[in-house]
Amino acid sequence: MTEIRQSLASDAAATTATVAATIDFTRRRKLVELRLEGTILGEHTGALSDFLRNLSHFPGNRWTLQLENLDVMSMRALKVLVKFANIIRRRGHEIEIVGIQPGVLAMLMDLGLHTLFDWKRLNRQFNFSRVEALDELSANIFPEEMLEEKVYAY
């Protein structure tokens, strides 16, 4: 088993952004576990793209993506992740999301990008459909008073 970890921030004082992968080719299934952590901004996309490009050369036949410790992801970083997912899909494999923050899930679903990933494990864990997920998550993400309709007099 091999662990690869890289900080995406070029400045020590910058926000924490990390990408890591565990590669386990000891079993018959060649597993590649990818983890994105912290706050991945547009300025981190170059390093993220390089890491994912190098990782895509591994001949894994099972890919997982852990987004449970990912707080925020910029649209530029999301574009890099989508490109990576498409490369893996063209090889005939799916990337299964095994953990995700509610806000990140809501963003993927809102943009219709959730269809690029496999959700088997999460569907069993949370027992909700993708359609119901946004309603359930919005209550967890936003305070109830923000969701109430307000009437303003002018």
Residues 148, 151: Cα–Cα separation, whole Å: 10
pLDDT value at position 147? 45
Q: What is the mean pLDDT of residues 5-28?
A: 77
pLDDT band of 144, cuts 50, 70, 90:
low
Across 1-154, the runs of DSSP E, i.e. the strands, are 2-7, 17-24, 31-40, 62-67, 70-73, 95-100
Domain ranges of the chain: 2-139
pLDDT value at position 14? 55
pLDDT in tens, 86-138: 999 999 988 988 888 888 888 888 888 888 888 776 665 554 455 555 555 55
DSSP structure string for 64-86? EEEETTEEEE-HHHHHHHHHHHH
pLDDT in tens, 18-74: 888 888 888 777 889 999 999 998 899 999 999 999 999 988 888 999 999 999 899
> What backbone torsions phi and psi does residue 26 show, to the nearest 5 degrees?
-80, -20
Distances (CA, A) of 52 to 32, 47, 61, 63, 145: 12, 9, 16, 12, 40
pLDDT value at position 53? 93
CATH code of the region 2-139:
3.30.750.24
pLDDT value at position 88? 92
- Count CA within 13 A, CB hemisphere, residue 89: 12
Residue type, 7: S
Res 141 pLDDT > 60: no
